[in-house]
Amino acid sequence: MTEIGIIAVGGYNEMGRNMTAIRINDDIIIVDMGLRLDRVQIHEDVEIDKMHSLELIDMGAIPDDTIMKEINGNVRAIVCTHGHLDHIGAISKLAHRYTAPIIGTPYTTTLVKHQIESEKKFGVKNNIVSLSAGGTLEITKDISIEFINAQHSIIDTVFLAIHTTGGTIVYACDFKFDRTPTLGDAPDFKRLKEIGEKGVIALITESTNSGRNGKTPSEMIAHSMLRDVLIETEEADVGMIVTTFASHVARVNSIVKFAEEMGRIPILMGNSMERYIGTAHQMGYIELPESVEIYGNRREIDKALTRIMEAGKNKYLPIVTGHQGEPGAVLGRIASGETPYKVDRGDRIIFSANIIPNPMTRANRYSLETKLKMRGARIYDDVHVSGHAYREDHWELLGMLRPEHVIPAHGNIQMHSEYIQMAEDAGYVLGDTLHLLRNGEELYIEEE
């Protein structure tokens, strides 16, 4: 008999700081250790790299893993499904407390290594193991993990399958079913169905966009929207600036390609652009044209902006950080007139991003757009598609895996309730085969 415990550590009451522990008898696999960024941002001048875990737990910024002391068992692995901060951002604060390797895809583990290097409070010495999508790794003689290719808004995202003697547990936190991705392969539907046929004990899946109708549009749609705004225009000579998620490698890759097509030099600006895109390039996930320039620090950025003003704004396409109005990011500094780049009437600012729905980012974004408009900028917003599955994608996932138990994760209670309604439509029963977990709770499942 196999006893399974699903322990909701973080990310079940909120968006961010995701962490789930999965106990198979006495062996535990931790999945994700993330950060909740808005809990850090509300405090001015917080230097997270110097802070202690307990302080960050009190702030609600990282998962409260002190509950792990009550759980009987040994942690055998820490698995990260992708490189977003809400999945890996607490590794440098929590991983050193466990004698277990950190396992992720190659891009994810490289980001994890960067994060550990920038940590100033704790020494994280866990082994870091890369496992590519499609790969399997034995954890104990009874447990193995498998990475199944997925798509999301960052490259090298995977579904995690934990194979046990009693059946498989699938963790699908953060995915979209993109059959026409602009980078990487479509999700491995064949493998998902095979796993479904063999028997899935439990599915833990994100509820984030389960309240949105239909299916998530493909990244190919965002690609077309960008083409429409950047190339299909009668004003091809005006100043244009694009801002997007630095970690969205496929999106940045599309924008760089459009810059070439426009006969402009793409310039990536911002610390995180350098980190995410530079890393993806070095690792061979994307090819960049010879002409591309990447600048992380403020002095270099301002020098490049001076050059743009001298040579002509129509010769360059700056791709910058700051789409959420983050103070200190490149676009915010441009909007405030703190850089050599002067916005003229008719210049285009293209937001290839949504507004992250919390009051603070809404306020920051409002202030940013207003400042830009006061300088005469024309705003193109929401040139974007989501990286999270919509309701009917979730329906399809349930159809392929047919899990005995379903647990929504990665969302607040409104998002979970949307997921629960969809799962009830699929025949699941709340409290029996469908489970609402709150941070700190453990669900027990016994398998013959």
Nearer to Zn ion, 333 or 388 (CB): 388
* Alpha-carbon distance values, 62 to 14, 41, 112, 118 (Å): 11, 13, 16, 17
Does the footprint of Zn ion cover residue 174 (CB under 5 A)?
Answer: yes
Total binding residues for Zn ion by CB under 5 A?
2
When the beta carbons of 11 and 318 are compared against Zn ion, the nearer one is 11
- Sites for Zn ion among residues 70-109 (CB under 5 A): 84
Asked whether position 156 contacts Zn ion by CB under 5 A, the answer is no
Least separation in angstroms between residue 275's CB and Zn ion is 16
427-434: list long-range contacts, CB under 8 Å, 24+ apart: 433/404, 433/405, 433/406, 434/405, 434/406, 434/407
Residue 24: CB minimum distance to Zn ion, A: 25
Nearer to Zn ion, 174 or 188 (CB): 174
Q: CB-wise, 105 or 339, nearer to Zn ion?
A: 105
Nearer to Zn ion, 139 or 222 (CB): 222
Distances (CA, A) of 268 to 304, 318, 320: 10, 6, 6
Q: Pattern 310-349, binding to Zn ion, x per CB under 5 A?
A: ----------------------------------------
Write the DSSP assignment of 163-227 as a string of letters: EETTEEEEEE-S-B--SS-SSSPPP-HHHHHHHHHH-EEEEEEE-TTTTS-S-PPPHHHHHHHHH
User: Minimum distance from CB of 152 to Zn ion (Å)?
Assistant: 6
For 392, the 3-state DSSP assignment is: helix
For the bound state, the minimum distance from the C-beta of residue 151 to Zn ion, rounded and expressed in Å, comes to: 11
Judged by beta carbon, residue 174 or residue 326, the one nearer Zn ion is: 174
Q: What's the min distance (Å) between Cβ of 51 and Zn ion?
A: 23
DSSP lists the bridge partners of residue 241 as: 349
Residue 16 gets the label, from left (phi > 0), alpha (psi -120 to 50) or beta, of left
- How big is the CA angle at 328 (ends 345 and 89), to the nearest 5 degrees? 130
- Residues 110-139 as x/- pattern, contact with Zn ion by CB under 5 A: ------------------------------
Q: Which residues bind Zn ion (CB under 5 A)?
A: 84, 174
